[in-house]
Chains A and B, each alone.
Chain A
Amino acid sequence: MMTVPTSGTHALASTVAQFVWLLPLLPLIGFLINGTLSLLAVAKLGPDDPSAAGHDAHHDDHGHDHDHGHHAARHKFAGIVSLVGPGVLLLAFALAVAIFVAMRGVEMHEPYLLTLFQWMPVGDLHIDAALQLDPLSMVMVLVITGVGSLIHIFSVGYMQDDPGYPRYFAYLNLFVFFMLLLVLGGNYPLLFVGWEGVGLCSYLLIGFWFSEKANADAGKKAFIVNRIGDFGFLVAMFLLFANVGSLDFAGVAENAGKLPFGGVVITAICLFMFLGCTGKSAQIPLYIWLPDAMAGPTPVSALIHAATMVTAGVYLIARSSLLFSMAPVASLTVAVVGSLTALFAATIGLKQWDIKKVLAYSTVSQLGYMFIGVGVGAYTAGVFHLVTHAFFKALLFLGSGSVIFAMHRAYHATHNHDDAQDMRNMGGLRKYMPVTWTLMWIATLAIAGIPPFAGFFSKDEILGNVFARAHGSMLSEVTWLGVPGGTVLFVVWGLGLASALLTAIYMTRMMLYTFHGPNRSGQAEQGHLAEAPWIMTGPLVVLGIASAAGGWLNLPELIPIGPIGALEKWLEPVVGVATKRIAGTEGHESVSTEQMLIGIAVAIAVVGITIAITRLKPAALVTKKESPASTGFARVLEHKYFVDEGYDAAIIQPTVATSRVVLWKGVDVGLIDGLMVNGSALAARALGWLGSQLQSGQIGTYAWVLLIGVIALLSAFTKYH
């Protein structure tokens, strides 16, 4: 690798940060090793001549069975894969920590840029393969490698008997590679490489057990829906290049100020970019892929569909904070879409029975929160929630993974083919899985916003900022679709509170149905229910600690139990300018107002939990098989407002039908080929047929024609005098 640091004078250049290229390289190496092992293990090369008959079927229905279970011996390369897969991640995390330490030691006024090579130099377009290290990417790198390491370790246990073990870790390593590229890329196209790359890995991992059509469908859906967002991202880049003349973060930061403030161009750039975010971060209208993405292995859901990839949109907006702070209308749109998504997904979460689906909609909802944060210009708050969410949601997913693992094992032992993910089949698991139960409750309290757990601080900061911005800021002074910005923000705040209430309810509901009340898995199964091995619960404990204490990263002034606003100060060089531009000169809310806001938030969370505990009766629940189909609004919620069906009927089916009937059969086969191409051939043939009718085959006729012709010619050329 050619390492030609362009900013060799940067304070970080002489530190360990110069090895930042190792960060993505490590998981890439892991991918190559695991991928090779995966193919080596299954390679049965074909005969020299594939068309020769008699290569008889020496196959059996071995392997690649979606039943990721307990029928096969461990993979023959399991040892080395278990070492390499999580190993590269731990190394990367260690390096990330080292770089973080180095970074704390220097003043970060401008990002450290390491240009590896020129990627696409064409005319005045210069796109380099350049890594950019700044406080924001550092935070992301730490989350990705840190949480990523834990999830890799968890996977060693969770996937232990899967026949596709090396393939799993290959994909997972590749994902981390692309995710690091996403946050370290020094320009939008390179970020886009990571952006699409994580989407690709998500596709591969959702469809990991591809032998089941639903899983393959879900993977494909995720990729295609994401591509709609990517279309927006691409157009945003085109607009940037055409109007700003650069795609580097540095170049954009330098030249974006020349665009008219709040003008059409900057608003269009931001809105198209946000379209990209709605795809990747599962916001309305493109959130539909995320719940389906739960078809993948549960650690994948934790890593990709909760902690890292889906937050890429939040990162993108924080990264582009300078642009968004110049487009108040676009920023308000982000906040509005975020709040609507938060509430909408939370309502669906109320009625889901699949434990992972609850968490999926919860993720969509929490991502909405993050977008509220970055939408109102509280970039630190958005990133803060991103980090804490990474902790508690990864914990929730891994915890649910533990639960599913236990359920699955019990069902497997008794040859029960019921749904191991449906909460109606669980209940009372607290007795069998006390560690998981404790940790999951910590995460639940965190996400519900109960102090002093992590989610309380980040959620409160977001809502507090919305409230403050609604009173007086750049955003409150513009109009959004004819509505004053202040009013819009108050509505956003209200929606945020409402979803906080719902969050508390559906999370408590999930805990009650899963861990409390009587056990519904069956008599025989109960004997097999047990806590997962330590390689799985170990990472859970670490995440539990992080979920409990994550709030210390960015304490509000009101609660001085540690360093105040550490994250805010850390991110100041990246998002400070934009935050100040949006917030304006107005000071903070008064202490009493802030106290009131905190009080409201906590009260709502407590009310939510209380409602759930008092109203829900886990004891009255029956198993999935015995449950009647729900009716009324509950049915609408259970079927997610029939949005998927609506998209299918309104967009997908018409497109496919038009393509098939009109374009292919009609235009292609009928009009162009039938009428024009074969039509002209037919015309030529008809002309030939007419001519052939002159040939009677009668020599006598020919002779007469000949005679007449001779006479005609002779008379024509004879000169009469």
Chain B
Amino acid sequence: MLAESLALSAALFAIGVVGVLTRRNAIIVFMCVELMLNAVNLSFVALSKLYGATGQVFVIFVMTVAAAEAAVGLAIIIAIFRHKQTVNLQNINLLRG
């Protein structure tokens, strides 16, 4: 059971990574980041079977942070959209050197 859970977690994480790396839409990239976070959550829960409840506590933390991050992140994306009328990441390069 543990092995399957970790495999699923790894798969989800990989999907998230690929999404972050390849997609151009900020919302989708953002969703993929969430996917990666939840993949990690899954491996925390799975491993808590082995190492005790600490992992599960961490999941709560991660979810809290993810919620806060989602709020802030989406707010930023909306602000950017209002400013530039797009959420395409290729068009957003304010920090170019």
Contacts and interface: CB of A to CB of B under 8 A. Distances in A.
Contact of B97 (A693, A703, A707): A693
Interface in B17-48: 17, 20-22, 24, 29
B93 A696 contact: yes
Contact of A707 (B17, B90, B92, B96): B17
Contact of B95 (A691, A695, A700, A704): A695
B21 A707 contact: yes
B82 to A, nearest CB: 19
B89 A698 contact: yes
Nearest to B26: A699
B21 A703 contact: yes
Given A704-B21, A707-B17, A707-B21, A699 B89 contact: yes
Interface in B41-97: 89-90, 92-97
- Kindly state the interface size class of chain A when it binds its partner: 10 to 19
B96 A695 contact: yes
Nearest to B90: A698
Given A699-B29, A703-B20, A704-B21, A694 B97 contact: yes
A587 interface: no
Contacts of A704: 21
A627 interface: no
Interface in A587-628: none
Contact of B94 (A691, A693, A697): A697
A696 B24 CA distance: 15
A450 to B, nearest CB: 96
Contacts of B21: 700, 703-704, 707
Contacts of A9: none
A694 B95 CA distance: 11
Nearest to A704: B21
Contact of A692 (B17, B20, B92, B97): B97
B74 to A, nearest CB: 16
Contacts of A707: 17, 21
A696 B89 contact: no
A465 to B, nearest CB: 90
Nearest to B95: A697
A696 B92 contact: no
- Pick the 4 closest A-B CB pairs, nearest first: A697-B93, A692-B97, A697-B96, A695-B97
20 contacts: A691-B97, A692-B97, A693-B97, A695-B95, A695-B96, A696-B93, A697-B92, A697-B93, A697-B95, A697-B97, A698-B90, A699-B29, A699-B89, A699-B92, A700-B21, A700-B22, A700-B24, A700-B89, A703-B21, A707-B21
Interface of B: 17, 20-22, 24, 29, 89-90, 92-97
Given A697-B94, A698-B90, A699-B29, 11 more contacts: A691-B97, A695-B97, A696-B93, A696-B97, A697-B93, A700-B21, A700-B89, A700-B90, A703-B20, A703-B21, A707-B21
